[in-house]
Amino acid sequence: MLVVVIAGLAGLLIGSFLNVVVHRVPAGRSVVRPASRCPACEAPILRRDNVPVLSWLLLRGRCRACGERISFRYPLVELATGAAFAGIVAWQGVTWALLPLLYLAAITIALTLIDIDVRRLPDVIVLPSYPVLFLLLIPDAVADAEWWPLVRAVIGAVALFGFYDVLALLYPKAGAMGGGDIKLAGVLGMTLAWFGWQELVVGAFAGFLLGGVASAVLLLAGASLRARIPFGPYMLAGAWLGLAVGGDIGDWYLRSIGL
């Protein structure tokens, strides 16, 4: 429990940084400099006002300098990241598998919000995730003295990237697949295949299923057929479903067909 609590607190801090990423990356601004500022008046945020969640509550959701409201999304992102980190540690325990999963959780939150806001999955986040995730997978391989999962991860990255790329070529007028989706597919394929083939298949299929259901609901609710619905969040949600239950679903399916 202590480790879970520590992970949750670390997640709160990472969530605070993710708020900066979500706000600045789409605008092409540095996430390091300048220091955090009020979105309304650009006044620097004091250190005592930069404590995740707590500062927002003490300031009643307003900037100390100008009194302008600060969006509830800021503490919500921090809480979501803290909950995600704590949940992953509770799920996996203290293993080397935490490294890639915690990284994936962080970029999941950032990419989901950015894709919703600007309908884009920035290369500055997606492309570095290939080497970063691969390097984070290595300690687990070393600890278990088993290298096949790393090879499988590379195959999964190439396979899912290629699958999305082929779909984009076959259905260019549909506009459903953006370049960011294709690049993200490789990142997700790497992580899913590292866990196993069943996780890869279920996670990839779940992304399309969730995206299709959500699109149908939006259309029934009156959304335009020309409305561009971000697919990245559904890809990411599907990947997490694959990681969580892909093995169980795969085993059930194989048993049901007598394999």
Tens-place pLDDT, residues 204-255: 999 999 988 988 887 787 766 556 778 999 999 999 999 999 988 888 888 8
This prediction has a pTM of 0.91
Distance CA 170, CA 162 (A): 12
Report the run of H or E that residue 206 belongs to, with start and end: helix 197-220
Q: What is the pLDDT of residues 138-190, one digit of tens each?
A: 999 998 889 999 999 999 999 999 999 998 888 765 556 778 999 999 999 99
- Tell me the two tokens of residue 25: 């990356």
Percent of the chain with pLDDT over 70: 96
The DSSP bridge partners found for residue 44 are: 37
List of residues 6+ apart from 182 with CB closer than 8 A: 161, 164, 165, 168
Reference 139, options 105, 107, 170, 94; nearest CA is 94
More confident residue, 84 or 62: 84
Give the pLDDT score at 176: 60
Secondary structure element (H or E) that encloses residue 174, with its range: none
Residue 198 pLDDT: 95
Expressed in angstroms, the distance from the first to the final Cα of the chain is 39
pLDDT for the residue numbered 189: 97
How many angstroms separate the CA atoms of 27 and 25, rounded? 5
Tens of pLDDT, residue by residue over 100-128, are: 999 999 999 999 999 999 999 999 999 99
Tell me, what DSSP letter sits at residue 231? -
pLDDT of residue 168: 86
